[in-house]
Amino acid sequence: MVSPAIALAFLPLLLTVIIKYRYYFVLLYRAVLVRTWKDCVTGLTREERAYQYVLTHATPGDPDSILDAFDVWCSKVEFISNIGPKKGKILDRLLMEQRPLTVLELGAHCGYSTVRIARSLPLGARLYSIEMDQRNAAIAEKIIRLAGFDDDTVELIVNPSDEVIPCLRSDYNLERLDFVFMDHWKKCYLPDLQMLEGSGLLGKGSMVLADNVLFPGAPKFLRYLRKSGLYEWKIHRATLEYSKGIRDGMAELVYLGIK
Amino acid sequence: MPRDSLITSENDIDVGLDLAEDEDVLASEEGHERERHRGKRRDGDREKRKREKRRRKEAHRAEEGEDEVQTRPERRERGKRKRAKNDQEAKGREKDEAEEQELEKLKEAVDDRKKLIQGLRGKPFPMKKKLVTLRESQEFVEKYEGALGKGKGRKLYAYKVMMTKKWMKFQRDFENFKTACIPWEMKIKEIESHFGSSVASYFIFLRWMYGINMILFGLTFGLVMVPEALMGRPYGSMPRKTVPRGEEASAMDFAVLWDFGGYAQYSVLFYGFYNNQRAIGWLKFRMPLSYFLVGVGTVAYSYMVVIRTMARNANESGVGDDNSFNFSWKMFTSWDYLIGNPETADNKFASITTSFKEAILEEQESHKDDNIHLTRFLRVLANFLVLCCLAGSGYLIYFVVRRSQKFALDGLENHTWWERNEVNMVMSLLGMFCPMLFDVISALENYHPRVALQWQLGRIFALFLGNLYTFIIALMDEINLKREEEKIIKFNITMWEVSLYNGTVSENSTAPSITIHPADVPRGPCWETMVGQEFVRLIISDTMTTYITLLIGDFLRAVLVRFLNYCWCWDLEAGFPSYSEFDVSGNVLGLIFNQGMIWMGAFYAPCLPALNVLRLHVSMYLQCWAVMCCNVPQERVFKASGSNNFYMAMLLVILFLSTLPAIYTIVTIPPSFDCGPFSGKNRMFDVIHETLESDFPAWFSKVFSYASNPGLVLPFILLMVLAIYYLQSTSKSYREANVELKKKLQTQNEENKRKNKRAALKAQMDLEEARKTASQTAEQQKNNNASLQDQEADEEEDFSSSQRLNHGKNGHHPPPTAGDRQLPASRAPAPRTYHHGNHGAPGYLPGFSRQSEPRMCRVPSLQRH
């Protein structure tokens, strides 16, 4: 039997682990435990609960108030991995600088980032948003309409990204994408990027912005970037949305074209 | 570094010599450079060039097959042949003269080349051109240097040149050989290229430690263990050299041997085995004296080496101050040129940028100083927490040691392995986990990383020291217990002997040859062996913990991260568990404390240096492998240039603190009566006295006794103290002078810079004025009635220029104080505001007065921070 003194000697280790990884524990609690608990209690999905909250707390037709309501819900009530206000500012700035006319968004989730992008688009620009999950797409649709964006500005495509990207050119008459925002499955970043390259939709100066490349992280994606000379890229370092201590980053890629 | 570069460059030249097939290739490569040199010897150029070409080709052909040496005679022969031919052709002295002239020219050219080579470093060429030029010129010099000597001297000269070349080559090879002989050099270099110099500095430290331990091991092994094993009495001849009857059954069990009991305890590995016989073997080796001197010598040697290394390091590091030119240092010295791995380079790059950001932030923060109370509170809180942690760990160790004494009284056999090894386990575990906790706590304090690292090191140091001293105090308690026990046993033994003697006498008085087997003789507890055993056990358990942590914490983690990453929901490699980093500070401290334990225990367990050598050897290989295999480069790669002496200073402190208890026990506690080389003496150091009395002539001991007289020793110590004080004060004054000189240099530099700037400004102003007058005249031509404003402006222009001139006068003699220097800075903007206030048109004045003047003022102020 291990003596109590030896067990006590492990106390510093325990304390260290708890203190060091407290943000991860909090995240685990909020994103997993609270979610399953609420799922069981209410019978709704997390996205539906968020939608209900936004519906009751935001002004229809005002994208800012919708985004604010989302932020409040995600930081105070439950956790949804939207892009969040801090990284959202970077996104806004890039959009303002770039003034893209055709934007592709991979992974609309429940519409937060779609609204965010559509809000800062120039006049006459069009946003194609791809979402795989039916229920999420329905909510995203509602949110987008609630924010006051019509079909001309935002087009929601309900299909997996790897099916949609090859037929973007044929089905939607797209010639060139000015801006691509990636926030779907982290494992799909690399194949989707390669698919975009292959489809020839990326032109010189097209920008790709990939969220969450450090946490949960897309290492293969980053490794590919380092090796391929096709992009001028950098990582905006920030923290994970609605959490202070977890470091995360967004990769900003500018397509240089094949020389 | 310069030696290495020299070697490689010379090797390159050798290769280049072989590669340079034709002159034409070279000429095309670098035409005008050669042209310039050739221009100096224009007359007779063409002919010579032809000859050169031929000669070079032949020489090259010869070189391909044979050695360079053989080409020289050939060339000389060819020269002779040529000369003979010339004689035949012209039969006159004119040709000879021409030859002479040519030689002269050649010599000149060679000298030119030599000069070029020497001054090449300062030439404003691009690197590529430099290299090509260097190669060219060296080749040229090599070709024609041998042909320069005249007449008889020529042969000798050529021979001399050849020999110097050979000698240089030999030296080079010897250097390379020496480098190859340094143990683990390649390994360390590889690690350095992957992980930066801070990690490498740990391994260099480890190697250095290994060297010292080798010497300690050599001393103890050669002068104590081997003589005793070869010439001392064999095992089983005396009670102290025999396993007691009660332990005989289990003396060969692995568990017992692993705890260094049984046969291991009764061997040369421990103090108790040695006999107090004055001289052993046919060599009459003075064993006890040797034992004592080796014990003292190891400590003395360690002190000497550590202090010498410290002094050398201090000399090497110079008097660089890291504080005054923060940004310049960062700008020019933060790259680690030994990094050879792209990932590490990335990390280094990131860390440099972050350090810049932090430094800028810090600079801004230092002007703000808001919320100082919160910071202070947090720092105090952090220190309080650390103190609590230290106290807790100290108490835990004390508690455990007490418990172990209780177990020992009960008899160790009744307890489990866990309970028996509790002390070592707890000490190792606390030593491992508490630093982590400190690290986490120190995040509260918000110190600069460098300061934070020092605090961290200090805390770990305190922890280790506290643990070690708790252990020693507990050990002292145990020693006292043993000595009580010894007294009783001593009494019992005398009783036993008396009774035995009486018994034998009463039974048969004629035969006193009753022999008792040494295993049956009762014996004392021998506290020295006990102390030695404790230390050996501690070292063993410490080593085991280190290795197991390495295997589990690094290797297993790396394996899990690597292979679970394929099927995990987040990125294990970049995210949460990740690969571990190499913990330099913890490892260095572990090494230092390990060494401290060796120094403490080596007197009572001569096997300790041997064990330590083994441990260091294994850990060199194991850690090298582990670092390369399962660690990632640190996120903040920092250079370790200044830290070496810090390690050394810690080592010195530990050396002092670890010799303290050892010396205390040696001086104050009488040795056990029936074990060890000093048994039967009152104190251990009596052995010196004894040797002096019996082995040296009488006059020597007399002299020694005089010399050790306090009346002589005290003045001597006083003298030494005075000398030290004197040396220290002189060094201090030197340092001050250095600082003074540096300041002077700095001010001079600033002065020069400002002067240059002023000259540039003036030139620019003149230019501007000229331009303006030109435009004005044009305007006047165009529009004759000049406005009032223009005149005003002219006046103001004059005013400001005179102001600036005043600055110039001010600046010519070096300003004595900082305040004086700042004067122009505070005055300069004044006329500018005046200008702007008066006129609504800011674009009217030349732009430089607005832009460059504040910059000029800011230069000194930036540097002063």
pLDDT, one tens digit per residue, over B426-474 is 888 888 888 889 888 888 887 766 677 778 888 888 888 888 888 888 7
Q: In this predicted structure, what is the pLDDT of residue B741?
A: 92
- Cα distances from B558 to residues B544, B554, B573, B577, B578, in angstroms, run 20, 6, 9, 9, 8
B636 neighbors B692 (Cβ within 8 angstroms): no
Bridge partners of residue B223, in order along the sequence: none
What mean pLDDT is predicted for residues A131-147?
A: 91
pLDDT, mean of residues A20-44: 90
**pLDDT on residue B324:** 64
Rounded distance between C-alpha atoms, residue B582 and residue B410, angstroms: 43
Q: What pLDDT does residue B834 have?
A: 41
Gap between the Cα atoms of B463 and B589, Å rounded: 11
Task: Answer whether B857 touches A (CB < 8 Å).
Answer: no
Q: Are B601 and B473 in contact (CB under 8 A)?
A: no
Residue A103 lies in a domain: yes
Q: Is A214 on the interface with B (CB under 8 A)?
A: yes
> Residue A165 belongs to what domain range?
84-255
Q: How far is CA B769 from CA B114, B765, B806, B816, in A?
A: 50, 6, 19, 34
**Contact (CB<8Å) A217/B436:** no
Residue A72 vs residue B782, higher pLDDT: A72
Residue B653: strand pairing partners: none
Q: What does residue A131 show for φ and ψ, rounded to 5 degrees?
A: -135, 140
Q: Distance (Å) from the C-alpha of residue B416 to the closest C-alpha of chain A?
A: 8
Q: Does A219 touch chain B (CB under 8 A)?
A: yes
Per-residue pLDDT tens for A209-221? 999 888 787 878 8
Residue A142: closest CA among A78, A50, A211, A71? A50
- Give the Cβ contact number of residue B581 at 10 Å: 16
Q: Which pLDDT value is given to residue A68?
A: 92
Q: With CB atoms and an 8 Å threshold, state whether A5 touches B426.
A: yes
Q: Is B358 on the interface with A (CB under 8 A)?
A: no
Residue A198 forms part of a structural domain: yes
Q: Just list the catalytic residues of A.
A: 183, 186, 211-212, 241
Question: Quick one: pLDDT at residue B851?
Answer: 41
Residues forming a β-bridge with A253: A208, A233
Is residue A195 situated within a structural domain?
A: yes
Work out the mean pLDDT of chain A and round it to a whole number. 88
Q: What is the CATH number of the domain that holds A162?
A: 3.40.50.150
Is A71 inside any structural domain?
no
Instruction: Let me know: does B829 contact B861? Beta carbons within 8 Å.
Output: no
Name the token pair of B636: 């903040």
Domain count, chain A: 1
Residue of A6, A23, A27 to mutate, testing the B interface (most B Cβ within 10 Å of its Cβ): A6
- Neighbour-count burial for B586-611, b at 16+ CB within 10 Å, e otherwise: bbbbbbbbbbbbbbbbbbbbbbbbbb
CA distance B523 to B240: 8
Which chain B positions have a beta carbon within 8 Å of A9's beta carbon? 396, 425-426, 429-430, 433
The reply to whether A41 falls in a domain is no
| Helix or strand run (H / E) with residue B631 | strand B631-632
Average pLDDT on A31-50 reads 91
Residues 6+ apart with CB under 8 A from B570: A215, A216, A217, B576
Q: Say what angle helices B449-507 and B422-442 make with each other, to 10 degrees.
A: 170
pLDDT digits (tens, 9 = 90+) for B332-372: 877 878 777 777 777 777 777 767 776 777 777 666 656 77
- Which residues in chain B come in under a pLDDT of 70? 1-96, 145-153, 316-324, 354, 358, 365-370, 412-413, 448-450, 503-514, 570, 574-576, 635-644, 782-865
Q: Does B362 touch chain A (CB under 8 A)?
A: no
* 3-state SS class at B700: helix
Secondary structure (DSSP) of B400-442: HHHHHHHHHHH-GGGS-HHHHTHHHHHHHHHHHHHHHHHHHHH
Contact B30, B133 (CB under 8 A): yes
Give domain status of residue A38, yes or no: no
HSE-CB of B640 using CA atoms within 13 angstroms? 21
Report CA-CA distances (Å) from B360 to B355, B365, B367, B454. 8, 8, 11, 22
- AA letter at A33: L
* ipTM computed for the complex: 0.73
Q: CB neighbours (10 Å) of residue B632?
A: 18
Q: Which amino acid is at B80?
A: K
pLDDT at B747: 92
Q: Does any domain span residue A56?
A: no
pLDDT of the residue at B306: 92
Provide the total of helices (H) and of strands (E) in chain B, helices listed first.
32, 4
CB atoms B434 and A215 under 8 Å: no
Nearest-CB residue to B571 (from A2, A21, A217): A217
Which of A1, A3, A28, A213 is the best substitution to test chain B (most B C-beta atoms within 10 A)? A3
Instruction: Please report whether residue A73 resides in a domain.
Output: no
Question: How far away is chain A from the Cα of B863, in angstroms, using its nearest Cα?
Answer: 31
CA distance linking residue B476 with residue A157, whole number of Å: 79
The pLDDT of residue B76: 52
- DSSP letters spanning B761-777: HHHHHHHHHHHHHHHHH
Helices B818-827 and B788-812, axial angle in degrees (round to 10):
170
Pairwise CA distance, residues B761 & B774, whole Å: 20
Closest chain B residue to A7, measured at CA = B426
Residue written as token pair 């792209």: B342
